[in-house]
Amino acid sequence: MREGHDSGDPYVVEIADRQNIVQLDHAELARVVRVTLAAEQVSRAEISVALVTGTSMHRLNRKYLDHDYTTDVLSFLLSSEPDEDAAHTGHAAAEETELRGCGLRIDGEIVISAEMARDRAPDFGWTEREETILYLVHGLLHLAGYDDQTDSERILMRSRERAVLELCGVTACDSHGDQRRFSGEDSSQPAAEASNQSGEDVPQPEGHRSRPGDDGMPPAGSADS
């Protein structure tokens, strides 16, 4: 499924579903992408989202990041630059807002393990749909420039996740009894593995954070865009 510029939409969104484990509404996922980008005041974007199995995710994680385990979400920032026409689109100037994506043109890819979303959702008392949307929002925020490598950055990113999820009609996990998931204090946070898969020379992520308590082998991996 591909939607975007042909209809005057500043956001081109492509959804590729390569798994049959979880039934997901592609139109809803495309809407989540648009809501997240608009909330961050991203000027224009081309975003591709792939839904894959745990086995495929493990293979991608090993190929691009040399991490021999599966993960929940991988985000690949292909390009990000200020949009010279942003001043004419109604977006605030980047220096006038704390939104990291404000005024940017972004080209990126997000890969989501639908299998992990299914397996982990019960741990947090919500559905595989909601877990998948969380992974998608998290990956998009990485593409917009957020990081979760320090306590302060993690708290900021969790705050943005909560705000965007509410815009998408998803109730944050703390209402399901897990207040730490969005506070930046919980080691079970989803975290996007980030790299650039356009070409053979794939740069390493800017940072890497193993989840504490997992003996150095986090089941869902972590890194930043």
Per the domain annotation, does 215 fall within a domain? no
- Token pair belonging to 79: 């390009």
Q: How many domains, the chain?
A: 1
Per the domain annotation, does 213 fall within a domain? no
| Residue range(s) defining the domain that contains residue 157 | 2-195
Per the domain annotation, does 175 fall within a domain? yes
Burial level of 167, CB count in 10 A (0-12/13-18/19+)?
middle
> Which residue's structure tokens are 């010279």?
84
> Which residue's structure tokens are 């390569």?
18
Per the domain annotation, does 164 fall within a domain? yes
Per the domain annotation, does 223 fall within a domain? no
Per the domain annotation, does 64 fall within a domain? yes
The per-residue pLDDT string of the chain (225 residues; one tens digit each, 9 = 90 and over) reads 666 555 678 999 999 999 999 999 999 999 999 999 999 999 999 999 999 999 999 999 999 999 999 999 999 999 999 988 765 455 554 455 689 999 999 999 999 999 999 999 999 999 999 999 999 999 999 999 998 889 999 999 999 999 999 999 998 655 333 443 553 433 333 444 443 333 333 333 322 222 222 223 333 333 333
Per the domain annotation, does 219 fall within a domain? no
- Token pair belonging to 163: 């705000």
The CATH code of the domain that includes 32 is 3.40.390.30
- Token pair belonging to 70: 């599966």
Per the domain annotation, does 224 fall within a domain? no
